[in-house]
Amino acid sequence: MAQLSLQHRQQFFYKGKGKYRGKVKIANELRQMVRFEPLNLMSPSWCVEGPVDIIFCRNVMIYFDRQTQQKILSRMVTLMAPNGMYVAGHSENFTMYPNLVTPMGKTIYRPVT
């Protein structure tokens, strides 16, 4: 929260009170913009329409061989917005796919456009 601007904190978050002191509640306006969906990465078709702003796929790709990782990552990148983010787990690394993603930090990648 400290990294967000004061404007964004005030616009999108409510301070917790009582037993929720020190926590925040996300404003409905922001919550309605987020969609959580189960997805079988091995399925030949995904029911996801792009562009997707952010993908959290943490500690999943480590269970696939490199060829399958590349295939799945390639499919994800085609769904992402040009300035989108892919968030991986700390034990995952995709620097071996510079044609697909660019590292933006230890576990955050952007699609190559």
Query: pLDDT per residue over 61-75, tens digit each?
Result: 999 999 999 999 999
Distance CA 94, CA 23 (A): 33
62 and 104 together in one domain: yes
HSE-CB at 29 with a 13 A cutoff on CA atoms is 6
Q: Which two tokens stand for residue 43?
A: 């399925």
56 and 7 together in one domain: no
Q: For the chain, what is the domain count?
A: 2
Segment 8-47, tens digit of pLDDT: 999 999 999 999 999 999 999 989 988 888 889 999 999 8
Handedness of CA 3, 106, 27, 48 (dihedral sign): positive
65 and 99 together in one domain: yes
Segment 82-95, tens digit of pLDDT: 999 999 999 999 99
Beta strands in 8-107 (DSSP E): 13-15, 24-26, 52-56, 80-87, 101-103
Could you tell me the CATH number of the domain that includes residue 75?
3.40.50.150
45 and 63 together in one domain: yes
Distance CA 15, CA 81 (A): 31
Whether the upstream peptide bond of residue 51 has omega within 30° of 0, thus cis, is: yes
Instruction: Write out the residue range of the structural domain in which residue 106 sits.
Output: 37-111
Per the DSSP assignment, residues forming a β-bridge with 102 are 110
